[in-house]
Structure 1
Amino acid sequence: MNHLSLAAVVVQVDTLRYTPAGVPAVNLVLEHQSDVLEMGLKRQVSLILKAVAFGADAQTLSRLALNTALEFDGFLTTARNHKGVVFHIQAFKES
């Protein structure tokens, strides 16, 4: 199963674009910081993740103010250039 739930802050939102099929799309950059337990020890983790959303979600996210904290659900896939991963956002809500 490929499912990711992530609480993150939106640190970059690109201009809304449209796919060749006419579907709205927006690229974002998300930042996450939290404390997790690993082998019984508390560890601080942080990450910056490229993300993309399509359709009505893309239209809504394209209007977000930077540094907005949200909870995202979606899946990971390899980036088109095969360098890194991209988080495909399927749903989101306020944290």
Structure 2
Amino acid sequence: MDMLIMIIALILGTILYVTLNRIFSIIYNGFQGMIITWGICVLIPFCILNWGLEFIKEHYIWSIIIIAVIALVIYGAKSNSSTEDTVQEKNES
């Protein structure tokens, strides 16, 4: 499981590194700065994945409740959005 997390963290970290460099147009004065920045960008998703999966393993009931609440909020926002579109169409007619 740790190897899978590390592979996913490497992929996400590299994507984060490329995105960070494109957004801020970072110029490095040496190879060390580039490697340290990439290492931090890999460390961030690794920590998020590792701690997130540990939380889910130890608190699976809370995880289910959190996912259910998020799903209800998303469903409520989508259904409310379609209702507002219908009301706006009736007012325009």
TM-score of the superposition, structure 1-length normalised? 0.20
Q: Could you say which structure has the higher helix fraction? A: 2
Q: Answer with 1 or 2: which has the greater Rg.
A: 2
